[in-house]
């Protein structure tokens, strides 16, 4: 379904030697800003060809990490789009670009290798700190 996303993602991970979204953003020259965004998780935009990921400073680290991964997905997959804000009530969206960014983020966190003792999708999501709503992407 999204094999092309796997290909882009694996090339990125191999080139930079990390799955950490903050390190990848830095390596790609994307500025990550932590801001008070009220009920917004984060968003990606460009200004004068400079790429930015904005992340809600009020969230817990795991939420910030996943949000950075999601917005990094937009930067890699949809570099010319200024994405709409993420709704604070859910990370789930039906739109195609949001689904692609969620797929990218989920698989950035979850490598293909199996984890001993992890036998369900929910356990896998929990193990890697990925929101439960992302089950449909694994």
- Give the pLDDT score at 23: 98
Q: Determine the number of helices (DSSP H) and then strands (DSSP E) in the chain.
A: 5, 3
| Structural domain contains residue 138 | no
Q: What is the pLDDT of residues 89-128, one digit of tens each?
A: 445 445 888 899 999 999 999 988 878 888 899 999 999 9
102 burial level (CB within 10 Å; 0-12, 13-18, 19+): buried
Domain CATH code at residue 117 = 1.10.10.2910
User: What mean pLDDT is predicted for residues 53-71?
Assistant: 96
Q: What domain range includes position 69?
A: 3-131
pLDDT digits (tens, 9 = 90+) for 15-45: 999 999 999 999 999 999 999 999 999 999 9
Residue 38 within any structural domain of the chain:
yes
Q: How many CA atoms lie within 13 A of 35 on its CB side?
A: 14
pTM of the entire predicted model? 0.88
The answer to whether residue 71 is domain-embedded is yes
Which of 92, 118, 88 lies closest to 103, judged by CA?
92
Is residue 73 within 8 A of residue 104, CB to CB? The reply is yes
Do the domain assignments include residue 19?
yes
Tell whether the model's pLDDT for residue 56 goes beyond 80.
yes
Let me know if residue 136 belongs to a domain.
Answer: no
pLDDT per position as a tens digit, 83-97: 554 444 445 445 888
Q: How many domains does the chain have?
A: 1
The pair of structure tokens assigned to 100 is 């692609």
Asked whether 42 and 55 are in contact (CB, 8 A), the reply is yes
Classify residue 29: in a domain, yes or no. Answer: yes
């Amino acid at each position: 379904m999204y094999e092309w996303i796997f290909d882009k993602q694996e090339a990125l991970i191999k080139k930079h030697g990390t799955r950490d979204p903050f390190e990848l953003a830095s390596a790609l020259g994307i500025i990550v800003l932590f801001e008070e965004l009220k009920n917004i998780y984060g968003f990606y935009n460009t200004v004068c060809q400079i790429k930015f990921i904005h992340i809600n400073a009020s969230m817990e680290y795991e939420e910030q990490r996943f949000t950075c991964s999601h917005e990094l997905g937009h930067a890699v997959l949809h570099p010319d789009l200024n994405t709409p804000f993420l709704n604070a009530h859910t990370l789930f969206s039906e739109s195609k670009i949001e689904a692609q960014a969620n797929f990218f983020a989920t698989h950035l966190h979850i490598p293909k290798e199996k984890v001993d003792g992890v036998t369900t999708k929910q356990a896998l999501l929990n193990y890697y700190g990925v929101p439960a709503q992302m089950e449909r992407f694994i």
